[in-house]
Structure 1
């Protein structure tokens, strides 16, 4: 089966989502951080699958340092060319999930609607790397697709049952977990059945 977004379709996708606000999962995570004591230096986030910066921009606006990572060179170019970017607080990499090496003691790993694109055979090591990168008390926020999602039929994408998501989150205190399931459309207007897990979780101390 063909990848749901390939080639020039990424350009169409970036155009379709341009100007949209940050994801709710990120906003919930940031609200949790803001209830904690203000750090003496800027907090540090990794934005996985950052695209053209939908979430990265919000992190930078709030004074965070951000490492934005995306496999698409076009995404990184669009991010770096956005107006109002605090370039001194932003680092970017063009890398695939299965090739990533993470910094350690990260305050937040944000992964909005991107982890499904990690090949299934590489997902366990990617998830372990995410867990290890986050400092105790730091957070993960993002999404996983469920086993009833339309994209679960693509063998090169990963998906998870509810009990598998629970197992993945054992190293964390779950602060927000919302399961969403309904027919709908993609950003490109394609009919799709959505089965999603929206996650905000704090790593155990």
Structure 2
């Protein structure tokens, strides 16, 4: 089976783990003087983006434990790598039961299966990882084995025609010819590379 062509059949948990491992390393490289830098995600500077990344992990734990993320703020008070890594480890435990993948849950964008929700949060971790990496001048390409199935799932569940402007992403940006898989995934979410790479 070509796993990239059928991500709805893939267990997203190892991919989510790989994405959080990549972002943990990026967060460890953030210097204090970089916290106020802008990022390609217009809403967030580096500090707020780091807090949002922690918030997303808290929300995927809440989905597993409570069936909904609404009890957890998308912006955590912390912004450090250790908190992110600790929560990512807790997320692994919260999602350890295979039954979670097909359990009906409520995500910020509506009702879905746990599997689709985890794919959505994997995409968020990878895209915001790209945002963070380019903002702080770190290599911005995650392992293609993480990015490619995530991108395929995004193309299936969030085609351009299904988007309301800005919700949850801006319009697709045409990638640069030399863009790697992670940059292309960010472009699919509406990020422009022009000012950043």
Q: Give the TM-score normalised by the residue count of structure 2.
A: 0.34
Task: Specify which structure has the higher proportion of strand.
Answer: 1
- Higher-helix-fraction structure: 2
| Structure with the larger RCO, 1 or 2 (CA within 8 Å, 6+ apart) | 2
Q: State the TM-score, normalizing by the size of structure 1.
A: 0.33
